[in-house]
Amino acid sequence: MIKAVLFDLDNTLIDFMKMKRMSCEAAISSMIDAGLGMDKGEAVDALFKLYDEYGMEDQHIFQRFLERHAGGVDMRILANGIVAYRKVRMGFLDSYPHVKGVLFELRLRQIKTGIVTDAPRMKAWIRLASMKIDDLFDVVVVFEDTHQRKPSELPFLEAVKRLAVEPDNCLMVGDWPERDIIGAKKLGIKTCFARYGNPGIKTSGADYEIDSIQEILKLV
């Protein structure tokens, strides 16, 4: 019997990669307007290669980009990029369709809900607040809570402890099999692959797979 549902945040509740792509394209365009001498497409590709190298949550990615591709950090160019990124990011911080309805229905059914994310605490809460769903979770486990990233079992263990439920009474919903699914399975948590957040994955290894978050309501 499912007594709690845990969710990954990015690409499970929020279309994170769409937000990231649009924000980065705006940042590059603004930096080019401020004097960056690069082709936009090449610059965007170079920026995402740095994200692959340093992680999608890297706090200094634009500084790293300018150091590597512009011969140093011009503060005017950097400032224009950061301002453009932040403006566009806020406009695209929205949940996938039906997220709020599903969360409300789970609450009506008295099923506990939680977040297990690798995002830093402030970034996670900003995203939840921007989507206006920050009050719909019983627990939110972020990187600082365990200093371990998924697939370590520690973030999942922290969540089930706070929820006071047994792992086999939990369902973990996520878009990244190597982290969300494998990590949850280590504790015996039932798993659900959010195919809509990562459609390129052919085999997830999850107990369930869904194409819409609404399908969770059939599993609990």
Length of the chain: 220
Contacts of 175 (CB under 8 A, 6+ apart): 8, 10, 11, 12, 193, 194, 195, 196, 197, 198
* Predicted pLDDT of residue 143: 95
* Predicted pLDDT of residue 217: 97
- Amino acid occupying residue 17: M
Q: Which uninterrupted H or E stretch holds 66?
A: helix 61-69
Query: Residue 166's CB: how many other CB atoms inside 10 A?
Result: 14
Q: In tens digits, what is the pLDDT along the chain, a chain of 220 residues?
A: 999 999 999 999 998 888 899 999 999 999 999 999 999 999 999 999 999 999 888 889 999 999 999 999 999 999 999 999 999 988 888 889 999 999 999 999 999 999 999 999 999 999 999 899 999 999 999 999 999 999 999 999 999 999 999 999 999 999 999 999 999 999 999 999 999 999 999 899 999 999 999 999 999 9
Give the fold, CATH level 3, of 4-14+96-218: Rossmann fold (3.40.50)
- Classify residue 124 by burial, with Cβ atoms within 10 Å: 0-12, 13-18, 19+: buried
Tokens describing residue 92 = 């695209």
* Predicted pLDDT of residue 190: 98
- Amino acid occupying residue 219: L
Question: Which of 198, 196, 192 lies closest to 180 in space, CA to CA?
Answer: 192
* Predicted pLDDT of residue 130: 87
Distances 188 to 98, 114, 144, 213 between C-alpha atoms, Å: 28, 17, 23, 22
Q: What CA–CA distance (Å, rounded) separates 7 from 119?
A: 13
- Classify residue 38 by burial, with Cβ atoms within 10 Å: 0-12, 13-18, 19+: middle
pTM here is: 0.85
Q: What CA–CA distance (Å, rounded) separates 160 from 5?
A: 10
Residue ranges per structural domain of the chain: 4-14+96-218, 17-92
* Predicted pLDDT of residue 40: 97
Residue recorded with tokens 């690798």: 118
Which CATH number is 17-92 given? 1.10.150.520
